[in-house]
């Protein structure tokens, strides 16, 4: 690849974008075969080619992607390396908020920084006894002269390890919530690489320690946007997870085909002497391919609903409740609909190769582990119950970040 810095993100179907994605895939393969390692090279490609700015309108220097095009990108990146789009999930959410509020945040230059390749991460969740989704934090923000002091520990800090700036949520002395946007390398910020999940291993999803970090007053941002601006539902972060799952299923199919072509022997009682002509193995690949198609088509159908909701908000300035609810409902239904299908496909992949497919050197177990980790973010039984309540009783979906 060339070392030139892109002036704007490559278009979705360009050779330039495919070159970037191929390089990310090569980096992931190299790290797998050499014992692991962080995807710093991949994130440098993301910065250089401005993939964090694909949703920024072209007139502002971004890629001008629709939501559907954005999710197509996420799927392709996930096929190359599922850690990379997961790392960027918070950044893309931050970008979407900045686009929505750019009429109210004229004194900020965040969009120009995003266009320049700066990556914004964040840390909100904590390992505490408080219910998941509660907007109340043990991390504290206390006054100190001309600013504040930030203290606490955040977990599930996905992407923070690789970001340039962090948005940190905290409670003040009265229990009110605030967000502080600070450089990721500020004194007192420590990133512990202690994520030990069975999948999504290099997302940096472990602990961020905040030890008496100074925060300037100008670095405080509204916790949920300006008080007089209604916030849309946050279905994008959820659908990104499912788009990553769809990309993993693409890899499942590719690995099945590759493994089948490399297989040199079969069983004496097999239906054909050549594995690539065995109708039972071909049926398995056909089912894997169909599962990948269903997952991707479902994600993109939900993306179309997000396009409608986002376009209404960005042009009219006010979210449309009906459009937002439909987008959230489809994102939730996507998760419930594809989870079992995807996990079964990742397990059925092993039927292509027999015992040899279980060798650690083949790395085929990574797909199931990554999918299981992604789907564990928001337990399906809770999503399905909320969907059922909406369908049967017209009960609105919860207005929390998990919908």
- Measured CA to CA, the distance from residue 332 to residue 43 in angstroms comes to 29
Q: If you classify domain 15-118 with CATH, what class do you get?
A: mainly alpha
CB 343 within 8 A of CB 251: no
Give domain limits for the chain.
15-118, 122-221, 236-393
Choosing among 3.30.930.10, 2.40.110.10, 1.10.287.610, 3.30.1330.10, the CATH entry for 122-221 is: 2.40.110.10
DSSP string, 90-151: HHHHHHHHHHHTTTT-TT--HHHHHHTT--EEEE---SSSSPTT-S--S-EEEEETTEEEEE
Query: pLDDT tens string for the chain (403 positions)?
Result: 555 677 899 999 999 999 999 999 999 999 999 988 999 999 999 999 999 999 999 999 999 999 999 999 999 999 999 999 999 999 999 999 999 888 888 778 899 999 999 999 998 888 876 666 666 789 999 999 999 999 999 999 999 999 999 999 999 999 899 999 999 999 999 999 899 999 999 999 999 999 999 999 999 988 765 554 567 788 999 999 999 999 999 999 999 999 999 888 887 787 888 888 999 999 999 999 999 999 999 999 999 999 999 999 888 778 999 999 999 999 999 999 999 999 999 999 999 988 888 988 889 999 999 999 999 988 899 999 999 999 999 999 988 777 8
Burial zone of 340 (CB within 10 Å; 0-12 exposed, 13-18 middle, 19+ buried)? exposed
Helix (H, G, I), strand (E, B) or coil at 329: helix
Helix (H, G, I), strand (E, B) or coil at 62: coil
3 burial type by CB count under 10 A (0-12 exposed, 13-18 middle, 19+ buried): exposed
| Whole-number Å distance between alpha carbons of 352 and 7 | 44
- For the whole model, what pTM was predicted? 0.95
End-to-end, the C-alpha distance of the chain in Å comes to 39
Task: Please give the CATH topology (third level) of the domain spanning 236-393.
Answer: Butyryl-CoA Dehydrogenase, subunit A; domain 3 (1.20.140)
Alpha helices in 2-66 (DSSP H): 15-33, 40-48
């Amino acid at each position: 690849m060339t070392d030139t810095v892109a002036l704007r993100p490559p278009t979705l179907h360009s050779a330039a974008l495919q070159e970037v994605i191929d390089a990310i895939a090569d980096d992931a393969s190299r790290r797998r075969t050499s014992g692991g390692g962080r995807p710093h090279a991949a994130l440098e490609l993301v910065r250089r080619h401005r993939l964090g700015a694909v949703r920024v309108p072209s007139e502002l220097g971004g890629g001008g992607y629709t939501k559907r095009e954005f999710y197509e990108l996420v799927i392709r990146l996930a096929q190359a390396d599922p850690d990379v789009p997961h790392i960027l999930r918070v950044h893309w959410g931050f970008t979407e908020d900045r686009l929505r509020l750019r009429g109210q945040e004229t004194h900020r230059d965040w969009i120009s920084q995003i266009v320049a390749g700066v990556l914004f991460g964040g840390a909100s969740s904590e390992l505490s006894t408080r219910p998941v989704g509660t907007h109340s934090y043990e991390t504290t923000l206390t006054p100190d002269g001309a600013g504040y002091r930030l203290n606490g520990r955040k977990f599930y800090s996905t992407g923070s390890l690789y970001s340039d700036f962090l948005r940190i949520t905290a409670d003040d002395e009265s229990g009110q919530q605030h967000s502080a946007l600070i450089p990721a390398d500020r004194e007192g910020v420590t990133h512990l690489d202690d994520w030990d999940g069975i999948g999504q291993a290099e997302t940096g999803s472990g602990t961020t320690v905040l030890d008496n970090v100074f925060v300037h007053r100008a670095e405080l941002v509204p916790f949920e946007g300006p008080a007089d601006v209604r916030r849309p539902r946050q279905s994008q972060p959820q659908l990104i997870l499912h788009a990553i799952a769809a990309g993993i299923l693409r890899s499942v199919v590719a690995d099945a085909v590759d493994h089948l072509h490399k297989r040199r022997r079969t069983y004496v009682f097999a239906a054909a002497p050549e594995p690539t002509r065995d109708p039972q193995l071909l049926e398995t690949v056909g089912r894997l391919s169909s599962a990948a198609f269903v997952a991707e088509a479902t994600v993109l159908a939900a993306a179309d609903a997000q396009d409608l909701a986002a376009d209404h908000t960005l042009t009219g300035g006010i979210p449309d409740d009906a459009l937002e609810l439909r987008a959230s409902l489809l994102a939730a239904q996507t998760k419930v609909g594809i989870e079992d299908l995807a996990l079964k496909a990742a397990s059925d992949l092993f039927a292509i190769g027999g015992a040899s497919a279980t060798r650690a050197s083949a790395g085929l177990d990574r797909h199931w582990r990554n999918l299981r980790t992604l789907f564990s973010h928001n337990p399906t039984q809770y999503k399905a119950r909320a969907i059922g309540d909406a369908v049967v009783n017209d009960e609105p979906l919860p207005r929390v970040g998990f919908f």
